[in-house]
Chains A and B, each alone.
Chain A
Amino acid sequence: QVQLQESGPGLVKPSETLSLTCAVSGYSISSGYLWGWIRQPPGKGLEWIGNIYHSGSTHYNPSLESRVAISVDTTKNQFSLKLTSMTAADTAVYYCAREVAFWGKGTTVTVSS
């Protein structure tokens, strides 16, 4: 069974960079599929952040494209999210996923000084 687990800081200061990692088990990222990140602000809906292929090719949400970078490390079977210039509006639960079927449990990120 494919499993994904997010990890990273739960608290980030305004203007800092968020770094999250998604560890994948039960499937090799090198074997294919799209891998990505989705977030959900408190009490709101789901927002797609971006996807990456095992080759490293990426697609990003235009609204975040200037601040976001997704990378993959096939040797560790994990992929990562970096989001720069964090503000309170970036406070959310961040999910990693293998499009479309498998999601992690999510990690809560709060932006506050």
Chain B
Amino acid sequence: ETVMTQSPATLSVSPGERATLSCRASQSVSSNLAWYQQKPGQAPILIYSASTRASGIPARFTGSGSGTEFTLTISSLQSEDFAVYYCHQYNNWPRTFGQGTKVEIK
């Protein structure tokens, strides 16, 4: 199984600052990596997949990486960006998720 490891577990950031989230795969997932944002009581929404920003997602979200190392950068955090972010590989079976990074207000 492909283990997805996210870091840090919690990121404390002030509004307007940059946030950098990391996701590492235990084996290559090529570019088949998605990032999801989840707010309390809501379903996850797709932010990025295969290095492409999802429809309707602001340009302040940037995904990068391939193989085993991936990064999601939020250039200037807005109040609506405080949430939990999950990475998800859809290259290998079984599909797997990271444990999540909580982005909280500093």
Q: Does A53 have its Cβ within 8 Å of any Cβ on chain B?
A: no
Known contacts being A45-B99, A48-B94, is A106 close to B86, with CB within 8 Å?
no
Query: By the criterion CB–CB under 8 Å, are A48 and B96 in contact?
Result: yes
Interface residues on A, range: 10 to 19
A45 to B100, CA, bound (A): 7
Query: By the criterion CB–CB under 8 Å, are B86 and A99 in contact?
Result: no
Footprint of B on A, CB under 8 Å? 36, 38, 45-48, 51, 59-62, 95, 99-101, 103-106
Residue of B34, B97, B98 ringed by the most chain A CB atoms within 10 A: B97
Within B77-100, which residues are at the interface with A (CB < 8 Å)?
Answer: 86, 88, 90, 93-100
A36 to B96, CA, bound (A): 13
Query: By the criterion CB–CB under 8 Å, are A59 and B94 in contact?
Result: yes
Footprint of A on B, CB under 8 Å? 1, 34, 36, 42-46, 49, 54, 86, 88, 90, 93-100
Query: By the criterion CB–CB under 8 Å, are B88 and A104 in contact?
Result: no
Query: By the criterion CB–CB under 8 Å, are A48 and B43 in contact?
Result: no
Query: By the criterion CB–CB under 8 Å, are A46 and B94 in contact?
Result: no
Known contacts being A48-B95, A105-B43, is A99 close to B100, with CB within 8 Å?
no
| B93 proximity list for chain A (CB < 8 A) | 59
